[in-house]
A = this chain, B = another copy of it.
Amino acid sequence: MTSPRVCVAPADFPRSPATDAEITAAIVSGGGQRAELADADALVWVDFTDVAGLRQALASAPQVRWVQLVTAGVDVMRPVLDAQRQWTSGKGLYSEPIAEYVVAGLLSSFRSIPAYVRDRSWTVQPTRTLLGAKVTVIGGGGIGSAVVRLLQPWRCQITVVRRSPRPMPGTVAVVGEDELKDAVSQADAVVLALALTPDNVGILDAGVLAAMPSTAWLVNVARGPHVVTDDLVAALQQGAIAGAVLDVTDPEPLPADHPLWQLDNCLITPHTSCPGEIAKPYLLARIADNVRRFGAGEELDGLVDAQAGY
């Protein structure tokens, strides 16, 4: 049992879910101590996108044996992941808040809340219910499972599409990615909730959009590049699907003049399905727990497979 020396960097990163002081308190509560990079056994890297900065930090501190990242998906950091040290992420940590965003997006869409926000008069908009609806979730990991759990009281007929199909409680079917088009063809809603890997870029393209009913909604809480953006714009403009709720886009941030902003059947949020203020308690708990595990020589939680990239 040792007291791990942990560096937090970059210092005072403005978009970090927690302040340096809060992270330091979590490190101390896990039995560790704050350290400068040169003296650190471990590094909590709080920037979501600065690959070059992280590579440089590790080059100057080869003694660092563990890196804790703060996001759930680490596709952006993939180029710097290596097998020389352990990598952990926020994997699994934010599943429930992100699933909550999915349900918020579905209910807002089905209940026409954007239309009611815009139309400030006593005018009835068409609405539908999510109770008993057919929902297809692409991705059977933490977020997909949490979506299934939150939707239980709605008695939805949930189909999960995943690489390795195996039964999941609360679903009517779990199918492989080769059955994707069939799995979306009857859906009232399709939810993208999978990790981004090189082989699933553009998984939601014109062909899959065309297979969806024109009444179906799309919710994306995965990554922007899972969707072929131009195909989605065309589908939304033509009414080929009912609408989309996008927490992620390609590109990101979405430029102010992008056609998606012009579509009333598209609700866009800026990659905030689990924003810092919601993520903070989950992240601080993981840091404290992993510092304790690291000091005790136990297996870390949220380990990233550097080879697979998630």
Contacts and interface: CB of A to CB of B under 8 A. Distances in A.
Nearest to A110: B104
Interface string A138-161: 000000000001101110000000
B267 A116 contact: yes
A271 to B, nearest CB: 9
B153 A267 contact: no
A126 interface: yes
Interface string A76-99: 000000000000000000001100
Interface of A: 96-97, 100-101, 103-104, 107-108, 110-111, 113-114, 116-118, 120-131, 149-150, 152-154, 252-254, 256, 261, 267-270, 272, 275, 277-278
8 contacts: A100-B107, A103-B107, A108-B113, A113-B113, A113-B117, A122-B253, A126-B277, A150-B154
B269 A129 contact: no
Contact of A113 (B96, B104, B123, B127): B104
A257 to B, nearest CB: 10
Contacts of A129: 97, 100, 278
B101 A111 contact: yes
A267 B113 contact: yes
Nearest to A130: B100
A118 B117 contact: yes
A108 B104 contact: yes
Contacts of A113: 104, 108, 113-114, 117, 267
Contact of A256 (B97, B121, B261): B121
The 3 tightest CB contacts between A and B, nearest first, are A104-B107, A122-B253, A117-B117
Contact of A122 (B108, B116, B254): B254
Contact of A153 (B104, B152, B270): B152
Contacts of A121: 256, 261
Of residues A116, A125, A131, which shows the largest number of chain B Cβ atoms within 10 Å of its Cβ? A116
Contacts of A275: 124, 127
A275 B153 CA distance: 20
